[in-house]
């Protein structure tokens, strides 16, 4: 009886993914415990986030694929409406208008877009599976640009980047021609000066200090300098759990959220970093395998985009801490403290699981 209940409960849970996710979240909790000064407050808070996110993941994993097909368009439209709502009467926190206050809780609609956009694009391309024309890609590009520009306006460069990346991955996997790709690349480069003029001062500063953090050691370069010191001083084996000096003595800013990787790298060293990268690669690998075996174009594109978004999170965050990418507000997936991004990521993982476990139902 219990066995049957259990098996029905885990029927749509991919074992490999859930193990990897559990390992990463375990590492995350351990690092969080250290980063918050050996206090359980944040750890308990994160455990609550994990519980919610796992529930979301379970639901997503159990959603049949045709439901996903159906919710793609409404979700996207809903997301765009929310973004416009944020723009008109959102809350301003830390100088950026990202939050929508619903009275009982506040939400960040841009997070929703990380899933809603690839879902929408995958659905769109799936509809035109038979004949993918340039026009389809043009429409796809517009579908990408609308939310991305709205998010960039908030301003939230990090999320805009992630959403754009998610959209781009769908376009690419859908078969965007190489020539167009190169053309887009060139157009992108050509538009850089224009982008530059669109940027907020603090965003420009972040880009500038990326190339020379020492220019502004106490201001914009401080994050990068301190995180690189944390990383480097971790050495090969690390300083040991709870022994990081950079984090424990307050030198690292945002050390439970965006810069938690610096804490991890300081305490666990290069060995720890390799372990973490392998775990991330296994998740990404599993996601790509699921995408490769997905039954329809819609699910393939969705799985691929979710997986690559996950990769983008991890790569940009670690690259930022290591000082080779600009400081953009992107958390390290499954490690950083924070409910919203955790829910988004596990929702995506849940979709991957759904795609994998429901594939036979579709095929047959």
Partner 1 sequence: MIRSVELRDHQRELYYFQLRLAIVGGAVLFAFFVLFVRFFYVQVVQYDYYHTLAEQNRIFVVPVVPNRGLILDRNGVVLAHNFAAYTLEIMTTQVDDLPALINQLSTLVEITPKDRKRFQKLLEEGHDFASIPIRTRLNDEEVARFAVNRYRFPGVDINARLFRHYPNGEIASHVVGYIGRISDGDVDLLRKEGTAANYSASDYIGKVGLEQRYEKQLRGVTGYEHVETDANGRSVRTLRSILPISGDNLLLALDARLQQVAEQVFGDRRGSLVAIEPKTGGVLALVSKPGFDPNLFVEGIDPQNWDALNNSPDHPLNNRALQGVYPPGSTFKPFMALAGLETGKRKPGFTISDPGYFVLGGGGHVFRDWKAGGHGLVDLHKAVVQSCDIYFYGLAQELGIDAIHQFIGQFGLGQKTGIDIEGEVAGLLPSQDWKQRRFQQKWFVGDTISIGIGQGYILTTPLQLAQATAILANDGKVFRPHVVRHIQDSQTDALTTIEPQPISEVPLKADNIRRVRDAMVDVTKPGGTAAWAGLNTKYLFAGKTGTAQVIGMKGQKYDEARVQERHRDHALFIAYAPADDPKIALAILVENGGHGGSTAAPIARQVVDFYLLGKEPPPKPAAAVELGQEND
Q: Which residues bind partner 1 (CB under 8 A)?
A: 129-134, 169, 172-173, 175, 177, 179-180, 218, 226, 228-236, 245-246, 249-251, 265, 269-270, 273-274, 277, 280-281, 284-285, 288, 291-292, 297, 300, 304, 308, 311, 315, 318-319, 322-324
Joined tokens for residue 312: 């983008």
How far apart are CB 172 and partner 1 at their closest, in Å? 7
Using the Cα atoms of residue 41, residue 44, residue 46 and residue 52 in order, give the sign of their dihedral. Answer: negative
Total residue length of the chain: 364
User: Cβ closer to partner 1: 8 or 215?
Assistant: 215
CB-nearer residue toward partner 1: 102 or 130 = 130
Pick 280 or 347: Cβ nearer partner 1: 280
Q: How far is the CB of 260 from partner 1 (least distance, A)?
A: 16
In angstroms, the CA 82 to CA 360 distance is 35
Q: How far is the CB of 30 from partner 1 (least distance, A)?
A: 19
CB of 279 to partner 1, least distance (A): 11
Residue placing its CB nearer to partner 1 in the complex, 78 or 128: 128
Neighbours of 155 (CB within 10 A): 18
Find the shortest distance in angstroms from Cβ 245 to partner 1: 5
DSSP 146: H
**107 vs 270 by CB, closer to partner 1:** 270
Distances (CA, A) of 364 to 32, 197, 198, 351: 45, 53, 51, 20
| Pairwise CA distance, residues 196 & 65, whole Å | 41
For the chain, state the CA radius of gyration: 21
């Amino acid at each position: 009886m219990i066995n049957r209940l259990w098996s029905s409960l885990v029927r749509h849970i991919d074992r490999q993914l859930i193990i990897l996710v559990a390992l990463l979240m375990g590492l995350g909790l351990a690092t969080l415990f250290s980063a918050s000064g050996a206090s359980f407050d944040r750890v308990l808070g994160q455990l609550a986030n994990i519980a919610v996110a796992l529930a979301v993941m379970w639901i997503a994993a159990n959603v049949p694929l045709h439901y996903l097909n159906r919710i793609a368009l409404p979700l996207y439209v809903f997301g765009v409406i929310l973004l416009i709502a944020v723009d008109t009467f959102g809350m301003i926190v830390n100088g950026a208008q990202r939050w929508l206050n619903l009275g009982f809780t506040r939400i960040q609609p841009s997070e929703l877009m990380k899933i809603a956009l690839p879902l929408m694009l995958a659905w769109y391309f799936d509809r035109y599976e038979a004949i993918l024309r340039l026009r389809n890609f043009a429409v796809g590009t517009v579908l990408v640009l609308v939310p991305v520009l709205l998010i960039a306006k908030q301003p939230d460069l990090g999320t805009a980047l992630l959403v754009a990346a998610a959209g781009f991955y769908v376009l690419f996997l859908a078969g965007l021609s190489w020539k167009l790709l190169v053309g887009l690349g060139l157009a992108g480069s050509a538009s850089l000066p224009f982008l530059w003029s669109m940027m907020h001062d603090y965003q420009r500063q972040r880009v500038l200090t990326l190339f020379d953090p020492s220019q502004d050691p106490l201001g914009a370069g401080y994050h990068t300098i301190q995180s690189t010191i944390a990383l480097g001083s971790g050495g090969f084996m690390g300083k040991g759990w709870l022994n990081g000096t950079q984090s424990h003595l307050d030198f690292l800013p945002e050390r439970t959220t965006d810069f938690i990787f610096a804490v991890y790298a300081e305490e666990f060293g290069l060995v720890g970093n390799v372990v973490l990268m392998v775990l991330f690669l296994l998740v990404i690998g599993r996601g790509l395998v699921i995408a490769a075996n997905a039954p329809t174009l819609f699910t393939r594109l969705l799985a691929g985009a979710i997986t690559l978004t996950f990769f983008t999170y991890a790569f940009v965050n670690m690259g930022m801490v290591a000082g080779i990418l600009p400081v953009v507000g992107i958390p390290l997936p499954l490690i950083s403290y924070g409910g919203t991004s955790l829910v988004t990521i596990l929702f995506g993982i849940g979709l991957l699981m759904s795609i994998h476990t429901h594939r036979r139902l579709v095929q047959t």
